[in-house]
């Protein structure tokens, strides 16, 4: 068990993701969009979102990481690229959470440069700060460092079915407990 307090419950997320899926289905009718999930954080959101989309579409994933030291330029390293040509495709980048927006700005430009017909961004969460990019679709706004529903803290908590607030101090006891058992 953990003691991560709930910020957005399983039911609230379900309802929100369902509405986003329906909105995208209306906006992209006849466009056969390609959903591009940004690994790893978006994998749960992507799976639920796609099951709420009721128009023909396809999906792929990309994995990227920021080059250390040059974050301000928004340069990212591509660790896993798309497996298909995206020329003339309508792309929807699926992200877990938008913070500075530097990663998404870079990705959007990259996919536009590859000849996509359009590139839009959906993010489940948006931090209430100034971003380099505005999402076209957004689920929730938050200020805290959150985990769960795909989002991690040092690779943990991705499997929580809800979105919770991570407080390192409060988690120390739990983490020690887990280590104790594993040791
Ligand atoms: P950006 O390029 O927008 O600054 O970076 C966004 C990325 O930072 C997200 O995809 C996510 O990996 C990470 N991130 C930002 N805020 C949070 C947060 O509150 N919780 C978690 N788990 N990751 C975050
Ligand atoms: Mg991410």
Nearest CA to ligand 1 atom 9: 97
Nearest CA to ligand 1 atom 19: 145
pLDDT computed for residue 76 by the predictor: 81
pLDDT computed for residue 180 by the predictor: 35
- Per-residue confidence in pLDDT tens, the chain, 183 aa: 578 999 999 999 999 999 999 999 999 999 999 999 999 999 999 999 999 999 999 999 999 987 654 445 557 889 999 999 999 999 999 999 999 898 899 999 999 999 999 999 999 999 998 888 999 999 999 999 999 999 999 999 999 999 999 987 777 655 555 543 332
* Residue-wise pLDDT tens digits, 74-107: 578 899 999 999 999 999 999 999 998 988 999 9
DSSP H or E stretch at residue 147: strand 146-147
Q: Which ligand has an atom closest to residue 64 CA?
A: 2
CA atoms within 13 A on the CB side of 153: 17
C-beta of 91 in contact with ligand 1 (< 6 A) = no
- 77 and 20 Cβ atoms separated by less than 8 Å: no
Ligand 1 atom nearest to 144, measured from its CA: 19
Nearest CA to ligand 1 atom 12: 41
Q: How many helices (H) and strands (E) are present in the chain, helices listed first?
A: 4, 9
Annotated active-site residue 99? The verdict is yes
Query: 46-80: buried (b, 16+ CB within 10 Å) or exposed (e) per residue?
Result: bebbbebbeeebebebbebebeeeeeeebebeeee
- 71 and 2 Cβ atoms separated by less than 8 Å: no
pLDDT computed for residue 132 by the predictor: 83
Ligand 1 atom nearest to 131, measured from its CA: 3
Which parts of the chain fold into alpha helices (H)?
Answer: 10-27, 43-52, 102-113, 168-182
Ligand 1 atom nearest to 102, measured from its CA: 2
C-alpha 30 to ligand 1 mean position (Å): 32
């Amino acid at each position: 068990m953990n003691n991560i307090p709930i910020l957005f419950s399983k039911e609230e997320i379900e309802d929100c993701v369902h509405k986003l899926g329906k909105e995208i289905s209306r906006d992209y009718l006849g466009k056969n969009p390609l959903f591009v999930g940004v690994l790893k954080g978006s994998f749960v959101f992507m799976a639920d979102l796609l099951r709420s989309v009721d128009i023909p579409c396809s999906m792929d994933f990309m994995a990227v990481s920021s080059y250390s030291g040059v974050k301000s330029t928004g340069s990212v390293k591509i660790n896993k690229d798309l497996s298909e040509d995206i020329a003339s495709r309508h792309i929807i980048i699926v992200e877990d959470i938008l913070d500075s927006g530097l990663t998404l700005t870079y990705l959007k430009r990259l996919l536009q440069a590859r000849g996509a017909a359009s590139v839009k961004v959906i993010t489940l969460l948006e931090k209430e700060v100034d971003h380099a990019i505005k999402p076209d679709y957004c689920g929730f706004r938050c200020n805290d460092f959150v985990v769960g529903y795909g989002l991690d803290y040092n690779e943990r908590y991705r499997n929580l079915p809800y979105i919770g607030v991570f407080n390192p101090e409060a988690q120390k006891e739990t983490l020690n407990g887990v280590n104790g058992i594993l040791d």
